[in-house]
Amino acid sequence: MKVAVQWQENMTFIGTPDSGFSVQMDADSSFGGTNQGVRPMEMIALGLAGCTAMDVISILQKKRQQVTQFEVRVNAPRSAEHPKVFTRALITYLVTGKNVDESALLRSIELAATKYCPAQLMLTQVFPMELHYEIYEEIGDGMRHLTCQGIWQELPLE
């Protein structure tokens, strides 16, 4: 993989990866930026969320689960001192659908975490992750109700 960032002004950069989809990055004004883009550390957290989300939804679709909404949230606290690295991550998978099978979701999370998501597998080597899930039954008119929730497992540093 190749990426490049090109400086625009102040702390604003345009990043372009192999795919060609550019993204603007910036810092807030306290760090010399103009608050006009995503922060680099946010990009790492977004990459983690996007990677595991794509793998989990792909596996759920192959398992013929009727998912109507899917969201992955990552809460990744950072150390107080520089370089302010991530110290851990809580990943929460929120699945809404019709009769979504808990065991299918658990297997999908497991495969993403242990086999398919390179961002998750790589970052697990750096900080621990805890994987939570919530399954909601869609009841119509944008309404849903929680049917189950749990924790897959914490992936410790190896």
Residue (of 72, 104, 105, 109) closest to 90 by Cα position: 72
What are the tens digits of pLDDT across the range 26-67? 999 999 999 999 999 999 999 999 999 999 999 999 999 999
Query: What pTM was computed for the model?
Result: 0.93
What are the tens digits of pLDDT across the range 85-113? 999 999 999 999 999 999 999 999 999 99
Unique residue bearing structure tokens 């990043």: 15
Residue (of 60, 128, 44) closest to 94 by Cα position: 60
**pLDDT surpasses 80 at 154:** no
CA distance 112 to 80: 30
Q: Tokens for 83?
A: 């370089």
